[in-house]
Structure 1
Amino acid sequence: MSLIAVIDFETTGLSPAMGDRATEVAIVLVEGGQVVDRFQSLMNAGVHIPAFITSLTGISNAMVAAAPDAATVMTEANRFVGATPMVAHNAAFDRKFWEAELTRAGVTAVQPFACTLLVSRRLYPQVPSHKLGVLVDYHRLPRGGRAHRALADAEMAAALLGQIQNDLRSRHGVARPDHALLMALQRCAKPAVRAFMAQYAGA
């Protein structure tokens, strides 16, 4: 099975285009459904963390003041990932910060992103919400650490990825549920998912 990097950021807000910055990043390397390595660090981007963000994440201004600068952390994170394809839950969010923080560090992002949120909407339409915590509870997956901390959320997203890959094998007959399939599935129109999966399984 090929290696996949599952990433999660904690940030000061929703949009790097509006000046929001990352405060923490975690990456979990998964191979064959097993976690094989981890990277996690707070980072100091030199910006103020609003009080409501601290109450949500537990990450304070004092914590990031003692952390390595953002460029150093992002350079190390990019080296850790290399060319490994990436996965995140709500990947549009994490991809924006990955690309923006790497650009600030003078590095070009090259990794393709797949999204467990988009894939889950197609595979599990019966779930009332496709938030990460709801999906983790729905599938009875383990929760570790505090939610809205990067490593705990990356670990949960990795567990959800494993569930998705298992279901693609057992329910849809896909021998190799790789990153390329996830990328294709997340772009598939919801009414066409059954036909898409039948075609992919028969290929």
Structure 2
Amino acid sequence: MQLDTDLTGLFGITLAIVALFVRLPQIKALPPLKRAGALLAAVIVVSIPLWGVSMAGFVRGMTGDLSIATLVLLALALARSFFDRAALEEQNRNAMLRAILIAAILFYPLALGLGMFDPYRLGYGNLWFMVLLLGLTIWASLRYSTLLAICIALAVAAWSAGWYESHNLWDYLLDPWLAVYAFAVPVKRWWARWRGADAKLEA
């Protein structure tokens, strides 16, 4: 089982590295076939062990395993880079990022010791937490937030199967890198709008 969890953890890191790699302008400019070849070469390079550990393993040692939600977003970004179109509407993705941002704002301060309540303990199979997630999944489905519903369902399924080393459901639902990304996206949009308004004033 240890080997399985290592492989899935390394797969997530490899996916992240490759998703960033294909966003480079030089790679995006390549024809699809050459882009696929470059992608395969990148996978091989990050998987080759050097001094007993691969690049993916080294990065994993610093970042930990990525959450299921992060893997889904990375897979969608990778697909978009190849097919030049989004698999889901931007509104659907934004709804998920807003939910992640709210969850991160509520979760991390409490989990780090702010207050008497530690929400991380709920991730060890608390019944009410599972009921809350079920309700959130149903609500997201009814609100056409398909991506959010899918990510919650996949995270619970992976946790039930023991996909990662962690036995806590929170580690399947959320990770710090995803929280930072969910925060950075609206900040980047606000900055772009502010720069655009500033440019109009200067003109």
Instruction: Classify the TM-score, shorter chain.
Output: under 0.3
TM-score by length of 2: 0.26
Which is richer in strand?
1
TM-score by length of 1: 0.26
Q: Which structure is higher in RCO with an 8 Å CA cutoff and minimum separation 6?
A: 2
> Of the two, which has the highest radius of gyration?
2
